[in-house]
Amino acid sequence: MARSLQKVEASYRGIVEDQVDLICRYRPDGRLTFVNGSYARAFGRKRSELVGELIPFMDAGQISENEILQKEQNLTTADGQIACMLWAQRPIRDDRGNLLEYQAVGDDITERKNAEAALLAAKESAEAADRAKGEFLAVVSHEIRTPINGIMGFADMLSGSELSSEQREQVSMIRTSGVARSKLINDILDHSKIEAGKVEIEHSPYALHKSIEEVTALLEPDARENGLNPATKIATDVPVIVNGDETRLRQIPTNLIGNAIKFTKDGGVTIEISCNKSPPDNDGLCNIRLFFSITDTGIGIPADKISQLFLPFSQADTSMKRRRNGTGLGLAICKRLCELIGGTISVESSEGSGSVFRLLSRRTTKKATPRLL
């Protein structure tokens, strides 16, 4: 029996000696009874010198008979390096449950802690950079917007005065350029806000039909310049009033319809809106899925460019981008806004034949009041 126990003990000590972790045993009073080679090397001392000393990583008052405790501790190793150790302590008992001593295993987690610290520092640095970028963009946008608004205001004043046809054309060019620069600034700011997670989606009632009418009216001068008269078709079951973020549901169609007009010289542009409704709930509310489609007969999009269409600063044709003063941000903004409002956006296109952009948006509306006959 004694030999068997000796073999088990020898086997145990052999396994312990092979470990890179620091392993030790100590009495309830905190005095060491055993340390493995890794433990001794970490402290740069002989085992015989360590046995009998108090454990350095846990106060005697923290020793518990019934719990497995874990504790982090920084220790200075024999080579002068600071190592962060995670100690795990557990009690060792005899067959009758009497406490004999404790065993602790120390795992060197220095690399993990350094990685966590580096990650935190990088996160804080990125957040600081985002704040700085936001402040910079706010200042720059203000400094650029103010003179642009002044230029556009003076252009409007000039257009109302007596001008020759040549002068009127020049004033129109000034205003068109100002509008393009203003849109560029708005796109950059919107993209930055979306990337920084600072866009808040509202949910309030608004007049959908009126909103779409205002969008098409806003784009009418551009359509007229291209000889177009966009057609709007709204299904009869589409609610007049819906709940949602009107600003975003104006911004997305404005961008899509504006693009359709911009790249269509012959044919036309058609805006269609339909919906699916769920049965009303006890409060008279029903879920509405709004479907928007913007169809044009413009230049279309090459098949190999469609997958990149919704990426920031990407356009199907860079030469067209230069001619049309595009930033390549409009469709990327549309896609991100669609995602924020719980919708989707997709496109079908054939180069030279035109494109169809489809937008699916989820909204809620009150049940229509029955008409009295």
Token couple for 185: 């600034």
* β-bridge partners, 35: 24
Residues 259, 210 contacting (CB under 8 angstroms): no
Q: Distance between CA atoms of 336 and 346, rounded to whole angstroms?
A: 12
Task: Of 40-54, 131-145, 343-357, give the lowest mean pLDDT range.
Answer: 131-145
pTM above 0.75, yes or no: no
pLDDT digits over 325-369, tens only?
A: 556 788 988 999 888 888 899 999 989 889 999 998 865 555 443
- Domains (ranges, CATH) in the chain? 2-108 (3.30.450.20), 115-195 (1.10.287.130), 204-366 (3.30.565.10)
Confidence of residue 322 (pLDDT cuts 50, 70, 90): very low
Q: At what angle do helices 208-218 and 246-262 cross, to 10 degrees?
A: 40
pLDDT digits over 94-128, tens only?
A: 888 888 888 889 888 999 999 999 999 999 998 88
Instruction: Determine how β-strand 231-234 pairs with β-strand 269-277.
Output: parallel
